[in-house]
């Protein structure tokens, strides 16, 4: 099994190109189930989660070519509507096929999802919304069995809590429904915005894009024709590289990035003493005279993202003082804390709170990744640890980061992938 070996205390410099957003590419790919004809999607990251979803769509009957971050996909010949457990168990985002399959074919069977071990992320909000749109849904043998014999009907959907994949599933389903749907308390993440914009460009009448109240006038089963799509830059990957520059107190530049998507992270880094130079699609982080401690509370966009909590925990070990992180979205997302302690980080956790006492002189050790973002936190800590750190179980890392070792090497890190 592969692992990553990192020799710490290397200064970073130079620039890094940010890949397309995995969390935008996934719903965009599933949305092609709604489209007639060939769809071209560029800037797709070549990561494991993308390959998993494409394998699922191929099993359903879709045809595609994926080369050089360009996907050419046609779903015209989909002939199966059962998404099997063997694929969905490995990636929770596979649940995104539920809405478009049901809307187009009026029947589907989708396995209950698996994925990261960061806590419960139930799909009851998806199911409740689809039932309001006229679907009959049963859970049988671990599968969501959904049917809408006469097609989905528009409805007013109120999400009791903000859900990104739930919003995306219902946005896609409502696009083919009959009548006007209103989605209240919708997620506002840039990835959700791009999905809405793509469907709007394809001819679906959508208003309220980027707000928490979205109105969708469905096509009553008529398949829209998609225009060419380019996936937005990955704000979480961008934030991770900002943290790489910050934890090593280095000057690096991110290219192909949307700074506006990073506001919450930039503000926290400024609180810690870092400054920035930015343009329309680049962002340079400047070293701090002193790295100050911070307080972070994770919440839905545009607040501080839970997907950056682990990376900032690693960064906080190098601050001069005590930092506090409150994780409000997932109940089991501090698993990386125990691994950071193996590197001699001074971290205490209690419920949804983590207290990080800096500044720590970290020391290299063997550590184990527990989920996707925890993996990157361990890599960041290893960049400033004395000696060598070996990060194991990096299949988590491969789910969401494209060419991580090559990008960090180009910045000056001493990192390599090895086999056990």
Catalytic positions are 116
Three-class DSSP category at 297: strand
Sheet holding 388-392, edge to edge: 366-368, 388-392, 2-7, 414-419
Tell me 209's DSSP state: T
**Where does 272-411 have alpha helices with state H?**
309-316, 335-342, 372-384, 395-398, 404-411
Q: Within 10 A of 320 (CB to CB), how many other CB atoms are there?
A: 12
Sheet holding 251-255, edge to edge: 13-17, 251-255, 282-286, 275-278
**Where does 8-71 have alpha helices with state H?**
22-31, 48-60
Do 129 and 185 contact (CB within 8 A), yes or no?
Answer: no
Question: HSE-up of 102 (CA within 13 Å, CB side)?
Answer: 31
Tell me 32's DSSP state: G
**Alpha-carbon gap, residue 56 to 164, rounded angstroms:** 21
- Judged on CB neighbours under 10 Å (0-12, 13-18, 19+), 1 is exposed
Three-class DSSP category at 85: helix
């Amino acid at each position: 099994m592969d692992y990553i070996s990192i020799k710490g205390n290397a200064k970073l410099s130079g620039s890094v190109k940010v890949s397309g957003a995995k969390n935008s590419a996934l719903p965009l790919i599933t949305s092609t189930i709604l489209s007639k004809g060939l769809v071209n999607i560029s800037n797709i990251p070549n990561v494991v989660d993308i390959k998993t979803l494409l394998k699922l769509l191929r099993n359903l009957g879709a045809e595609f070519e994926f080369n050089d971050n360009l996907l050419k996909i046609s779903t015209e010949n989909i002939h199966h509507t059962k998404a099997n457990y063997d694929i969905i168990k490995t990636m929770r985002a596979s649940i995104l096929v539920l809405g478009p399959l049901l809307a187009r074919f009026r029947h589907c069977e989708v396995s209950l999802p698996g994925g990261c071990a960061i806590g419960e992320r139930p799909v009851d909000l998806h199911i409740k919304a689809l039932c309001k749109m006229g679907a009959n849904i049963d859970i049988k043998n671990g599968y969501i069995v959904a049917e809408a014999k006469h097609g989905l009907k528009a409805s007013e959907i109120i999400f009791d809590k903000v859900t990104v994949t739930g919003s995306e599933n219902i946005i896609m389903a409502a696009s083919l429904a009959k009548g006007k749907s209103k989605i209240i308390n919708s997620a506002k993440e840039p990835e959700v915005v791009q999905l809405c914009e793509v469907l709007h460009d394809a001819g679906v009448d959508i208003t309220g894009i980027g707000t928490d109240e979205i109105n969708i006038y469905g096509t009553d089963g008529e398949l829209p024709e998609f225009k060419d799509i380019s996936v937005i830059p990955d704000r979480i990957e961008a934030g991770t590289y900002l943290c790489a520059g910050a934890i090593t107190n280095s000057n690096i530049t991110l290219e192909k990035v949307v700074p506006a998507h990073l506001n919450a992270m930039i503000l926290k880094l400024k609180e810690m003493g870092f400054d920035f130079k930015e343009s329309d699609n680049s962002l340079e982080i400047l070293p701090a005279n002193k790295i100050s401690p911070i307080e972070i509370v994770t919440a839905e966009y545009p607040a501080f993202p839970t997907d950056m909590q682990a990376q900032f925990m690693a960064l906080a070990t190098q601050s001069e003082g005590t930092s506090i992180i409150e994780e409000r979205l997932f109940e089991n997302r501090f698993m990386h804390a125990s691994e950071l302690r193996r590197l001699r980080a001074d971290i205490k956790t209690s419920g949804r709170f983590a207290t990080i006492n800096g500044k720590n002189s970290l020391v290299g050790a063997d550590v184990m990744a527990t989920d996707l973002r925890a993996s990157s936190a361990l890599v960041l800590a290893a960049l400033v640890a004395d000696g060598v750190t070996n990060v194991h179980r990096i299949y988590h890392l491969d789910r969401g980061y494209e060419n991580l070792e090559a990008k960090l090497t180009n910045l000056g890190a001493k990192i390599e992938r090895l086999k056990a």
